[in-house]
């Protein structure tokens, strides 16, 4: 049934991505008018259908007069059905052109499509995000995003990780309490009304998952009420958390390295046209190959100070420090063993230096900075209880999490990536606001 439906839609019309197989044939395409110009006798229609863009060239002498009149009424972003004979055209970006034989509007767009071909400021574009998504650059970004998601799922499934869905409504925090979105929640049986929080990461639940599945990953929206108005911060973003039993700190980094290499390789392999639209210089991405650079936090601080930063010995790195550091290397950097005081309660301490944890951030090259945060987890019940107390957290909501250390605890590690930061890096975009269909930031929740 589904197959015959698919065949039916294929017979009904072709797509731009398919025309290469139809040179010399007449095809019908359905989509939108991206741009047009007319010389009075020849009409050039820039046609897009989601799968790609192609130029359709109509000649007044060849087209029925009623259809030529309709072309005269055409406006930007009108929906249209076109037919034409496919011709190889080396000068066109798609490599093809259509000699138009038929034109029919589906809906003539209203006059004054808000997004012209001139430059617009970021606020104007974000106010019109629902339309801006149709621009070729945004089309390209969304396709790269889709590729990264696909490659992530493929790589994990090829490596015995199981997709495990973690909740969004949670009774407690995962990454500290300063940036939690809080909401009222129903009372549990016999209790007063309670609070719920939007998940900052699925990690803690994933730790429960791997005690059943061995290796697991989640993928979904997470929320941070961060007041940061930087080019790297959203209040809602998509995170992939991965977790593996019997994997320690070094193994955890090896998994991250292999995943990131695969993602970049696939983007280079499958998204050449998109990267071209975005004007992305792919040379730096070609260099993203194992082994990545490894630096301890301690060594990084020394280096940063040499480079002029005033960062303190036990400080977390700021965005500027990350940018500075990544500019010294042409590969991503594993920044390891941070001071425990700047990191989360669940991270296992470094046995060689108890003031530090067995964690890593992964910094993307070319100034992009942190794309992954990960660590080995504290697996001892008593120690974890102590950490919860040290972080001034109420142990009660963590009772279930502590059970994982009571019943068959094992060494384990995991990490989480921020999808939008990886999209920004691979696409060469300055700001993460363009990497998600509808960005949510401190000062924006519309459209």
Residue 340 vs residues 12, 357, 410: alpha-carbon distances, Å: 62, 5, 21
Question: In the complex, what is the shortest distance from the CB of residue 293 to Mg ion, in angstroms, rounded to a whole number?
Answer: 18
Q: Which two tokens stand for residue 365?
A: 């090259």
Residue 439 found at the interface with ligand 4AD (CB under 6 A): no
The sign of the CA dihedral 182, 185, 188, 193 is positive
- Between CA 124 and CA 130, with CA 128 as vertex, the angle to 5 degrees is 155
Distance CA 318, CA 324 (A): 10
Residue 418 found at the interface with Mg ion (CB under 5 A): no
- Assign 33 to helix, strand or coil: strand
Return the exposure string of 145-183: e unless at least 16 CB atoms fall within 10 Å of the residue's CB, then b: bebbbebbeebbeeeebeebebeeebebbbbeeebbeee
Contact between 44 and 37 (Cβ < 8 Å): yes
* Size of residue set near Mg ion by CB under 5 A: 1
Question: In the complex, what is the shortest distance from the CB of residue 359 to Mg ion, in angstroms, rounded to a whole number?
Answer: 9
Binding-residue pattern over the window 219 to 248 for ligand 4AD, x denoting contact by CB under 6 A: -----x-x------xx--x-x-x-------
Contact between 134 and 97 (Cβ < 8 Å): no
Question: In the complex, what is the shortest distance from the CB of residue 141 to ligand 4AD, in angstroms, rounded to a whole number?
Answer: 15
Residue 374 found at the interface with Mg ion (CB under 5 A): no
Among residues 275 and 363, whose Cβ is nearest to ligand 4AD?
363
374 binds, among Mg ion, ligand 4AD, none (CB under 5 to 8 A by kind): ligand 4AD
141 binds, among ligand 4AD, Mg ion, none (CB under 5 to 8 A by kind): none
- Contact with Mg ion (CB under 5 A) among 52, 202, 209, 373: 373
Residue 416 found at the interface with Mg ion (CB under 5 A): no
Residue 58 found at the interface with ligand 4AD (CB under 6 A): no
170 binds, among Mg ion, ligand 4AD, none (CB under 5 to 8 A by kind): none
Contact between 362 and 337 (Cβ < 8 Å): no
Binding-residue pattern over the window 358 to 397 for ligand 4AD, x denoting contact by CB under 6 A: ------------xxxxx-----------------------
Distance CA 134, CA 9 (A): 23
Residue 417 found at the interface with ligand 4AD (CB under 6 A): yes
Contact between 378 and 358 (Cβ < 8 Å): no
Residue 332 found at the interface with ligand 4AD (CB under 6 A): no
| Matching residue, tokens 């470094």 | 350
By CB under 5 A, name the binding residues for Mg ion. Answer: 373
By CB under 6 A, name the binding residues for ligand 4AD. Answer: 174-175, 200-201, 203, 224, 226, 233-234, 237, 239, 241, 370-374, 414-418, 420-421, 432
């Amino acid at each position: 049934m589904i197959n015959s439906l698919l065949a039916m839609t294929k017979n009904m019309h072709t797509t731009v991505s398919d025309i290469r197989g139809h040179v010399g044939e007449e095809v019908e395409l359905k989509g939108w008018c991206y741009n047009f110009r007319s010389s009075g006798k020849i009409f050039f229609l820039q046609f897009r259908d989601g799968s790609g863009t192609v130029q359709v060239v109509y000649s007044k002498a060849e087209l029925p007069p009623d259809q030529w009149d309709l072309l005269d009424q055409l406006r930007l972003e009108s929906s249209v059905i076109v037919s034409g004979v496919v011709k190889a055209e080396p000068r066109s970006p798609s490599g093809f052109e259509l000699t138009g034989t038929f034109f029919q509007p589906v809906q003539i767009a209203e006059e004054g499509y808000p997004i012209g071909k001139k430059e617009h400021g970021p606020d104007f574009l974000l106010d019109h995000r629902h339309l801006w998504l149709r621009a070729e650059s945004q089309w390209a970004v969304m396709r790269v995003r889709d590729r990264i998601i696909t490659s992530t799922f493929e790589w994990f499934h090829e490596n015995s990780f199981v997709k495990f869905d973690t909740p969004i409504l949670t009774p407690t925090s995962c990454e500290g309490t300063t940036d939690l979105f809080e909401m009222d929640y129903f009372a549990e049986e016999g209790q007063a009304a309670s609070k719920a929080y939007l998940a900052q990461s699925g990690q803690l639940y994933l730790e429960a998952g791997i005690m059943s599945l061995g290796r697991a990953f989640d993928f979904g929206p997470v929320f941070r009420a961060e007041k940061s108005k930087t080019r790297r911060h959203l209040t809602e973003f998509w995170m992939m958390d991965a977790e593996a039993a019997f994997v320690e700190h070094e193994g955890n980094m090896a998994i991250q390295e292999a995943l990131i290499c695969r993602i970049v390789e696939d983007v280079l392999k499958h998204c050449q046209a998109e990267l071209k639209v975005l004007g992305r210089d792919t040379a730096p991405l070609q260099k993203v190959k194992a082994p990545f650079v490894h630096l301890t936090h301690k060594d990084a601080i020394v280096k940063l100070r040499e480079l002029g930063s005033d960062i303190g010995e036990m400080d977390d790195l700021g965005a500027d420090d990350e940018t500075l550091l990544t500019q010294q290397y042409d590969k991503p950097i594993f920044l390891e063993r941070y001071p425990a005081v700047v990191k989360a309660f669940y991270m296992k301490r470094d046995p060689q230096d108890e003031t530090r944890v067995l964690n890593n951030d992964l910094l993307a090259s070319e100034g992009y900075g942190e794309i992954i945060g990960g660590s080995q987890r504290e697996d001892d019940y008593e120690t974890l209880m102590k950490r919860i107390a040290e972080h001034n957290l109420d142990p009660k909501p963590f009772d279930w999490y502590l059970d994982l250390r009571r019943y068959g605890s094992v060494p384990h590690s995991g990490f989480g990536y921020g999808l939008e930061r990886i999209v920004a890096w691979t696409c060469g975009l300055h700001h993460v606001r363009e990497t998600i269909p509808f960005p949510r930031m401190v000062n924006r929740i519309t459209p």
